[in-house]
Amino acid sequence: MSLEAISQTKSLDEVENTALQLAEHATDPVEKTVLKDLVSRLAEFKEVIPSSLSTIETSRGVESSVDQVKKDMEARLLHRKRQLSSLEIEVSRLGEEDMKLEAEIQQLSARKRSTVAELDKANQEAAKELEELMKQCDESRQAVENRMRAKERLAQSNTSWKLFKDNLGW
């Protein structure tokens, strides 16, 4: 049985209490030392396991949330890219028409300035969204690292527990 399963059944307290009682009544020094070591390890496991499981669950939630935000941001960035491309084409077209049509130069110049302003605004918004996407990616990376560290601690605890059980012949 893994430490997670034992912890979820709330059996660690019972095992710890039993080991404490056995240690108090043990007459063999080796047996007493082994039981005290067991109590110490159980106390450590009681702290590590819930924390590790909580970190794993929290990391999964953050990853899921960040993944959704990342997808949304990518879709918005694609939309912005298309918008930027469209606006750039419009600026170019208006610039050429401005040179050809002297009679409409004032009107076309005003439209061009407006479109350039939209382009600048769209560029700024895209830059902000890209920055936010990078931040979300960093958070996702951090969540993955946290989850991996928690899994590693949990695996180490399980290994230690298994070795300890094997040494006792359980």
In this predicted model, what pLDDT tens digit does every residue of 103-146 receive, in sequence order?
667 777 888 999 999 999 999 999 999 999 999 999 999 999 99
Q: Which residues of 78-100 are buried (b: 16+ CB within 10 A; e: fewer)?
A: eebeeebeebeebbeebeeebee
Amino acid at 82: R
pLDDT higher than 80, residue 61? yes
Q: How confident is the model at residue 100 (pLDDT cuts 50, 70, 90)?
A: confident
Q: What is the number of other CB atoms lying within 10 angstroms of the CB of residue 28?
A: 9
Amino acid at 104: E
Task: Tell me the CB-side half-sphere exposure of residue 98, using CA atoms within 13 A.
Answer: 15
